Structure 1
Amino acid sequence: MTQSVTLGVDIGTSSSKGVLVGANGAILATAVRAHEVSRPRAGWVEMDGRIWWEEFVAITRELLAAVPDAVAAAVGVSGMGPCVLLADENDEPVRAAILYGVDTRAGAQITEMSAELGDEEIARVGGSLLTSQAAGAKIAWVAEEEPEAWARAVRLFMPASWLARKLTGAYVLDHQSASQTTPLYDIEGEAWHNPWWQRFAAPIEQPTLGWAGDIAGHVTAEASALTGLVEGTPVIIGTIDAWTEAVSAGAHEVGDLMLMYGTTMFMVFTGAETLRTPSMWTTAGAFAGTRNLAGGLSTSGALTSWLKGLTGTDYPELLADAAASGPGARGLLMLPYFAGERTPIQDPDARGVIAGLTLDHGRGDLYRATLEATALGVRHNVETMRAAGADIRRIVAVGGGTQGQLWLQVVSDVTGLVQEVPQITIGASFGAAFLAASALAERDGATPPVITDWNPVAQRITPNPELAALYDELYDRYLRLYAGTRDVVHELAADQRGA
C-alpha cells in the first residue's frame, strides 16, 4: 500500500536540502548535498547551475528510496536568489550562475544604469534602487563584459525556475523573484517593464510570470526516468528560499517579520502596501496582494564559520566561551562587513572591523563580539524598516542558526524584539513541500493544509530588559564605528581588488 506525500527541495548557498512530508505535515525523510560557491575574483560569487539539477535528482532518488511506499503527489521547489543563470536555446548554461547580493561585480553597470534611467524613476517602476542585489544589473554586466556568452544567451533562470524547467519544460518565473531583477520588473503593474527589458535584456525571452504556489507544469517522461517521480506529477513555480522559509514558519502574513539565520542573515517584512526606502529592497510578495520590504546581512553564519575555522575550535566550545565572555564581549565591538554589506548601508566596499582588542581578549570574546555584530546589523535593518513605515507586529526566527540558544538570545537582547521560533526549522524545503501540498489541495478542491498545524511555535525568546541600556550604547558606537572607519576601509578594499 502506498502513501501520498509531497516533496520539497531547496537549492541553498552552501547545500541543497530535500524533504518528504506526509499528509499531516510529518517529516518522513530528509536529504542534503553540500556544495561550495566559486569566488574567482574579489566580489564575484558564482556557481555552476548544472549542479542544481544534479543535486535535485540525487536528493529525490535518495528520499524516495528512504520511504519505499511513498508516492510524491506534488513537488515543491525553492532556491537562493536573486540569481542570474543565462542559458542557450538548448537550456545549456552559457556561463556560471551569478549569485545574489553577495556578488558585487556589477558596480559599474549600477552606476551607468542609474545615471541613464534616474534613481527616482527606477524606484517608481521597480520599488528599489539598484544595488548588488539587482539581477538586472548583473544581466547588463554579462552583456558588456562577456559578449561571447551573451551572444548565446536566450533564457533567464533562477534555481527554482531552473528546476521547474528541468522537471516540466515550463519557462516560468514567480513575481517575487522577478521583482528582484531590478530594473526589469514593474512592481505595481506586476509585469515585466518592456521598455527597460528591451534596453538591457532584449535577446532574452521573457519568462511567463506566476505566483510561488501556482502549478508550473507536470513532470515529463524524461524527468520521471531521471528522478523516479511519477510522470504527470504537478510541480509548483516556487520562489526564492527566504520567502519559502517564511512560508515554512507561517511568517508570511501582513505584519510579520521573518529573520532567517543562515550563511547570511535575511529579513522579510510582509505588508499590503508598497514601501520604498533607498537602503532596503522593495519586492512583490510570494502571494498576490502582498508586498515585502526586505534586507540582508552579507555574513552571519559565514562569519561564525570563519572564526571557527580560524581558531580550530568546535561550536560548543566557542559558544561556552562566548557565554562566559558576557554581554559587550569585554569591550570588543565588531563590524560584520567581512564580505561587504548589503542593507541598510549598501556598501560592497565595507569590510570587517574589530575595535577594542587587547592582549587579554580571547576566542570567546571574539565569538561573542561576532554574535553581537550580527545582532547589531539586524537592529540597524529593523530600525530602517520601521522608519520606512513597516508596522512590524510579529517576529519569527528560522534557519539553522536558531538551534543556537545564545545567538537567539543575543539578537533579542540587542534588538529588544521578542522572537517566535517554530518547532520545525528545516527551512525552505519544508516550505516548498507545504506550497506543493496547498497547490494540490486547491487543484482537487480539497481543504488546504494550515502551516501552524504543520509547524507550531515551539518557543519565544524575550529580551532581557536589564541589558537594554548597554546595547543602546553599543548600537550607537556601532553606527559611529562604521562612519569613522569607512574612508580607510574603502582604501583597503581598493587595494584588495588590485591584489
Structure 2
Amino acid sequence: MITPNEHFVIGADFGTDSVRVVILDAADGRVAGSHVAHYPRWKKGLYCDPKENQFRQHPLDYTESLVEAVTGAIREADTARSRTDKGSISGRIRAISVDTTGSTPVLADRFGTPLSLLPAFAEDPDAMFILWKDHTSVQEADEINRVSRSWGGTDFTKYMGGVYSSEWFWAKLLHTVRKNPKVTKAAYTGIEHCDWITAVMTGTTNPDVIKRSRCAAGHKIMWHAEWGGYPPREFFDKLDPKLSDIRDSLGTDTWTTDVSAGTLTPEWAQKLGLPESVIVCVGVYDAHIGAVGGGAAPGTLVKSIGTSSCDVIIGPKPAAGQKEHLIAGICGQVDGSVVPDWIGYEAGQSAYGDYFAWFRNLLMWPIQNLVASDPDAKDLDLEKIEKAILRTLEEAASHIEPTESSVLALDWVNGRRTPFANQNLTAAITGINLGTDAPAIMRALLEATAFGARSIIECFEDGGINIQKVMAIGGVARKSKLGMQILSDVINRDIHVTAGDQSCAIGAAVFAATAAGLYPDIFTAQKALSAGTERIHKPDPARVAIYNKLYEKFRKLGQFIEGETR
C-alpha cells in the first residue's frame, strides 16, 4: 500500500500544439499540479505550409516548452501545498514518463542531434521534426507499398494492416532524403520525437545506446521480432540506399514503456528543478499511453479523440506454436506497444477535431479579412468569435433531427487512416440545397466522423477482435456531448467518456510508477490511478435506425469518391 503524499510521478504529454505536464500522487492519481506550455515557433506557423500539407516543428519548441511546463507544474503544486507542507514536491518525484504525437521523426547526425539544431540547418524545414499530420510523402508511401508487395521477399507491411502510410517514419524520411541533398548528406539516423526527448533528458542520444520505443518502432517503422528487427538492407536498397544506412543506425532492439531509459542528467535535473535520481521511462505515443490511462483492457476499445482519432485495443498473444492472426486495414499490431506482453492493435482517423477546425476557419475567413480591411470593423474581438463559433454551431446542430435526406459528408478531409490508409483521398459533402445552413453542415461533419468511427469498429470486428466496451478520451470527447451522442447512435453502443481530461498523464503516471517499482505491474497501477467514467451516452433506437440507412449512403459516397481518386 503506497502512502499518499509520499511518492509523485510526472506525465509529460506532447500534443500537436503544446506540452501538458501533470504531477500525480502515485498512491491515488490525485493531481498535485499541472501546466500547459505552447510551442512558440509552431504558434507563429513557422516551417509549415498547410496548402502543401507540410507541418514541421523545431526541437527547441519541445525542450523549451518542457522546461516551462515542468517548472510551472512544480510551482503550482508547491503553491497548493504551502499551507500544510513547506517542503517542495520536487524531492518526492520518482519518475517521469513522456508521450508524443507520432509518427513524428527527425533526421539527426552521428551524435543523435537533430540537424535543425546545427547552425547550417537552423531554418531548414527538412531538418525539423516532421509532424504526424505532414502528408508531403504520399508518393513515397505508395512506392513503399509497391515495393513491399513486389520485391520478392516478405511483405513487411503485414503487421501494419497491409498498407504503409505517408504519416509514418520511412515515407517521411524517403521524401526528405530525395528532396534535400544537403540534409541527406548530413543525416546519420532518424529519431522519433518520443525517443529523442527521453534520450535528451537521460544523456543517451548516441544512436548506439538510445532505447527506441517498441510502440513507435512496431507501428510506424516496420520493426517486428519475426524478422529480427527492421527489414533488411536489400529491401531498403530498392527504395534508396540512404534508408539502408539509417536502418543500420537503429539497432535491432526495442523497449516497452515500463522500462527505464535512464535517469536525469545533471544538466536536465537543474533545468527541471528535479533530483538526478528521477527515472525517465522509454518514450511512447500519446494515444497508446492515453489508452492505458483511459482504461485499456481486453475487449475495451479506447478512442482517443482530438485533432485526429486513434483507436486502441489490446488482445492476448498467440499460444505457443501458433501464428499471430493478422488484421487487414488497421495501423498495426505490436507486442507490447500498449501493455507489455499484450498485443496492441491501433486504428484511427486522420482528422476528427481538425475537420471542425477547418469548418471554423472557413467561416472565419471573411470576418478576419473584414477586420483587416475595414476600419469600422477593427473593434471586433476575433479571438472571442473564434472560440464561440463551434460551440454556437454545435448547440444549433443539436436541435436538428437526422433524416434519410440529411446532408451527408465524408470524414477524409486529411485523407483516410483506417480502414486501409490512403492519404490521396479527400472529403466530400453532398445533399446541399438553398435551405442548407451552417448548423446542418456542422451536424453532417459530426455524423461523418461517427460514420468513420463505425467503419473502424467493423474493420476490427471483421478481423476477429471482440469489442465489448467503448471508452472515449481526449479533448473532443470531453467537450462535445452532441458528438459523443451521435457516435453512440451511429455505432449503436454505449460510449463511456472518461472522467477528467488527463488520460495521457494518468497513463504516463501508470508507467512511471511501475518503472519506479511502486507497483508490480501495469494493470495494478492502472486500477489505482485511473480516473474512471464521467458519463455514458446511450444509443437512441429511433436515431439508430435512421443512421443505419445514412451509413449505407456514407459507404456508397465513399466508394464513389475513392473510385474517382487517382
Would you say the 8 A contact 1:423–1:455 is kept in 2?
yes
CA deviation after TM superposition for structure 1 residue 345, in Å: 4.6
- Superposition pairs for residues 302-381 of structure 1, below 5 Å? 302-312=354-364, 313-328=388-403, 331-381=406-456
Tell me the distance in 2 between the aligned counterparts of 1:263 and 1:329: 28
CA deviation after TM superposition for structure 1 residue 246, in Å: 0.2
Counterpart of 1:131, as a letter, is: S
The number of residues matched between the two structures is 487
Match of 2:304, SS state, is: strand
- Number of the residue aligned with 1:460: 536
CA deviation after TM superposition for structure 1 residue 275, in Å: 4.2
- Superposition pairs for residues 428-443 of structure 1, below 5 Å? 428-441=504-517
- Number of the residue aligned with 1:123: 157
Counterpart of 2:114, as a letter, is: P
Query: Quick check: 1:26 aligned with 2:63?
Result: no
Match of 1:289, SS state, is: coil
TM-aligned CA distance change 1:258 to 1:189, over 3 Å: farther
Query: Quick check: 1:389 aligned with 2:464?
Result: yes
1:205 to 246, 249, 266: 249
- Number of the residue aligned with 2:100: 79
Would you say the 8 A contact 2:55–2:130 is kept in 1?
yes
Tell me the distance in 2 between the aligned counterparts of 1:452 and 1:308: 40
TM-aligned CA distance change 1:351 to 1:20, over 3 Å: same
2:262 to 194, 214, 217: 217
Match of 1:245, SS state, is: helix
- Number of the residue aligned with 2:48: 39
CA deviation after TM superposition for structure 1 residue 479, in Å: 0.9
Counterpart of 1:366, as a letter, is: I
Counterpart of 1:237, as a letter, is: V
- Number of the residue aligned with 1:161: 195
Would you say the 8 A contact 1:26–1:454 is kept in 2?
no
Would you say the 8 A contact 1:249–1:451 is kept in 2?
no
Match of 1:235, SS state, is: strand
CA deviation after TM superposition for structure 1 residue 442, in Å: 5.2
Q: Deviations over 1:470-499 (max 9, x none)?
A: 1111011001112223455x37xxxxxxxx
Q: Could you say what the CA RMSD is over the residues aligned between the two structures, in angstroms? A: 2.7
CA deviation after TM superposition for structure 1 residue 317, in Å: 1.4
Would you say the 8 A contact 1:126–1:182 is kept in 2?
no
CA deviation after TM superposition for structure 1 residue 440, in Å: 1.1
- Number of the residue aligned with 1:496: none
Tell me the distance in 1 between the aligned counterparts of 2:149 and 2:158: 10
Match of 2:517, SS state, is: helix
Tell me the distance in 2 between the aligned counterparts of 1:452 and 1:462: 27
Query: Quick check: 1:246 aligned with 2:291?
Result: yes
CA deviation after TM superposition for structure 1 residue 67, in Å: 1.9
Counterpart of 1:97, as a letter, is: F
- Number of the residue aligned with 1:103: 134
TM-aligned CA distance change 1:445 to 1:382, over 3 Å: closer
Tell me the distance in 2 between the aligned counterparts of 1:280 and 1:466: 31
- Deviating more after overlay: 312-321 vs 54-63: 312-321
Tell me the distance in 2 between the aligned counterparts of 1:445 and 1:393: 24
Tell me the distance in 2 between the aligned counterparts of 1:44 and 1:289: 37
CA deviation after TM superposition for structure 1 residue 196, in Å: 5.8
1:140 to 161, 166, 174: 174
TM-aligned CA distance change 1:416 to 1:147, over 3 Å: same
Tell me the distance in 1 between the aligned counterparts of 2:201 and 2:61: 15
TM-aligned CA distance change 1:81 to 1:272, over 3 Å: same
Query: Quick check: 1:7 aligned with 2:7?
Result: no
Match of 2:398, SS state, is: helix
Query: Quick check: 1:276 aligned with 2:326?
Result: yes
TM-aligned CA distance change 1:197 to 1:172, over 3 Å: farther
Would you say the 8 A contact 1:215–1:234 is kept in 2?
yes
Match of 1:191, SS state, is: coil
- Deviating more after overlay: 391-400 vs 428-437: 428-437
Match of 1:118, SS state, is: helix
Tell me the distance in 2 between the aligned counterparts of 1:304 and 1:124: 33
CA deviation after TM superposition for structure 1 residue 360, in Å: 1.3
Q: Deviations over 1:13-53 (max 9, x none)?
A: 12211101113210112211234475335233322233112
TM-aligned CA distance change 1:304 to 1:107, over 3 Å: closer
CA deviation after TM superposition for structure 1 residue 187, in Å: 4.7
Match of 1:424, SS state, is: coil
| Greater C-alpha Rg | 2
Match of 2:313, SS state, is: strand
Q: Which runs of 5+ in 1 are unaligned?
A: 492-499
Match of 2:295, SS state, is: coil
CA deviation after TM superposition for structure 1 residue 453, in Å: 4.6
Q: Which runs of 5+ in 2 are unaligned?
A: 79-87, 116-126, 205-209, 238-242, 318-323, 365-387
**Percent of aligned positions with the same letter in both sequences?**
22
- Number of the residue aligned with 1:401: 476
Q: Which TM-score applies when normalising by structure 1? A: 0.90
Give the structure with the higher percent strand: 1
CA deviation after TM superposition for structure 1 residue 190, in Å: 6.8
Match of 1:246, SS state, is: helix
CA deviation after TM superposition for structure 1 residue 182, in Å: 3.8
CA deviation after TM superposition for structure 1 residue 356, in Å: 0.8
Tell me the distance in 1 between the aligned counterparts of 2:411 and 2:158: 31
TM-aligned CA distance change 1:45 to 1:334, over 3 Å: same
2:212 to 165, 173, 186: 173
TM-aligned CA distance change 1:243 to 1:192, over 3 Å: same
Match of 2:505, SS state, is: helix
Match of 2:434, SS state, is: coil
2:64 to 51, 54, 66: 54
TM-aligned CA distance change 1:435 to 1:445, over 3 Å: closer
- Number of the residue aligned with 1:482: 558
Q: Deviations over 1:330-387 (max 9, x none)?
A: 6200112222222115222222211111121212111111110100000011111111
Tell me the distance in 2 between the aligned counterparts of 1:214 and 1:249: 21
Q: Deviations over 1:408-437 (max 9, x none)?
A: 111010011222222222231331122111
Would you say the 8 A contact 2:294–2:530 is kept in 1?
no
- Number of the residue aligned with 1:232: 277
Tell me the distance in 1 between the aligned counterparts of 2:270 and 2:405: 59
Match of 2:440, SS state, is: helix
CA deviation after TM superposition for structure 1 residue 166, in Å: 1.2
CA deviation after TM superposition for structure 1 residue 449, in Å: 2.8
Tell me the distance in 2 between the aligned counterparts of 1:179 and 1:447: 22
TM-aligned CA distance change 1:358 to 1:114, over 3 Å: closer
TM-aligned CA distance change 1:427 to 1:288, over 3 Å: closer
- Deviating more after overlay: 378-387 vs 315-324: 315-324
Q: Which TM-score applies when normalising by structure 2? A: 0.80
Counterpart of 1:134, as a letter, is: W
